[in-house]
Amino acid sequence: MTDDDAKQRHDGDGKDEPVAEDEARDEDATSATSADDEADAKATDAADDDEPEVAEAARVEVAASAKAKAKADDDDAPAKTTDRSKRPVTISAEGLSKFYGQFAALSNVTFSVRRGTVAAFLGPNGAGKSTTMRILTGFLAPTKGKASVLGLDPTIAEQRRELAKKLGYLPESGPLYRDMTPFESLSFFADVRSLAKPTKRIEAVVDRCAIGSVLHKPIYKLSKGYRQRVGMAQALLHDPEVLILDEPTSGLDPLQIREVRELIRELGREKTLLLSTHILQEVEAMADEVVLISEGKIAFTGTKAKLTKDATVEQRFYELADKHQKEVA
């Protein structure tokens, strides 16, 4: 996609966005920025500490306060964003690097996502978004660095297996078993996951992703939009705590994109979501936090409010990406 295309898309899509809601969210986030920084510093201190007990104590404290805050959230919705910075970290990448021979697909990627956050992983094609997600899900091992999701290390086989029970993953371009029908496919995943009430869960995700009408058609006959939704249904099947979605809206038409965005916002209330995109509009529409990556390096991480303080996401994106490219050169 060229820059012009991106811009057009941005402008065009923007019209059917629920602007008021977004603005409200942004304001919340802005007021939270200083608190965010403080908490980040605290967390970093704890992580740096040589004594794990101290770090653990800090984490417990954070978790406890998050719990108390979460309770308060119920009657006071706007407080939610302020509270986010104190929630426990569910997804963390520490100095992740991935080399293919001499080529560094990722170098020293560090970021973290807290519970109940929708984090957008933003970057141009080939920036290393999918590679990072593959590392977080345990499909690839990093050359260097440490990944951790829900406190589990995806490079250790048994921990990865535990993690997989609580993690929903939509790989890039939504691969599926083409000869199967969505129903057969979901039954297979329910089987492998040994779900307690498979029929009920399948019905729930079929309903949520609106694939009831194509349930018994072979997947290879389905349109791209339906396939993407079957992939989404697969990721949600076991009601996971954490969702990692690689370009969840790719190939969808504007109506479907709106549905997926609504779904993601809804899921983001209780779950942790990391979703990748190269469409700037997505960030405005869905994300609480932004991780901007360019050529395998982190260019920005923080709240959306911080990113958009004095410019639009789009301007910041080009600015950071350009600056980063110059640094690399």
Interface with other proteins by CB under 8 A: which residues? Answer: 101, 134, 137-141, 157-158, 161-162, 164-165, 167, 169, 171-173, 175-180, 184, 188-189, 191-194, 234
If the CB atoms of residues 137 and 249 are measured against other proteins, the closer one turns out to be 137
What is the smallest separation between the CB atom of 139 and other proteins, expressed in angstroms?
Answer: 5
For the residues of 165-227, what is the DSSP string, one character each? HHEEEE-TT----TTS-HHHHHHHHHHHTT-SSHHHHHHHHHHHTT-GGGTTS-GGGS-HHHH
Query: Minimum CB separation from other proteins for residue 209, in Å?
Result: 16
**Residue with smaller CB distance to other proteins, 35 or 180:** 180
- Give the other-Cβ count within 10 Å of 9's Cβ: 14
Strand-pairing partners, residue 297, are 294
User: Nearer Cβ to other proteins, position 190 or 252?
Assistant: 190
Q: Rounded to whole angstroms, how far apart are CA atoms 287 and 303?
A: 9
Phi, psi of 252 (to 5 degrees): -95, 155
User: In this structure, are residues 9 and 61 in contact, taking their beta carbons and an 8 Å threshold?
Assistant: no
Put the strands of the sheet holding 167-170 in their side by side order.
167-170, 242-246, 272-277, 118-122, 289-294, 297-303
* Residue 177 beta carbon to other proteins: minimum distance, rounded to whole angstroms: 6
Rounded least distance, CB 246 to other proteins, Å: 9
Of the pair 201, 265, the CB lying nearest other proteins is at 201
Nearer to other proteins, 26 or 184 (CB): 184
Residue 198 CB, shortest distance to other proteins, in Å, is 11
Question: Chain-centre distance of CA 160, in angstroms?
Answer: 18
Quick check: helix, strand or coil at residue 297? Answer: strand
Smallest gap from Cβ 168 to other proteins, in A, equals 10
Given the complex with other proteins, which of 79 and 180 has the nearer CB atom?
Answer: 180
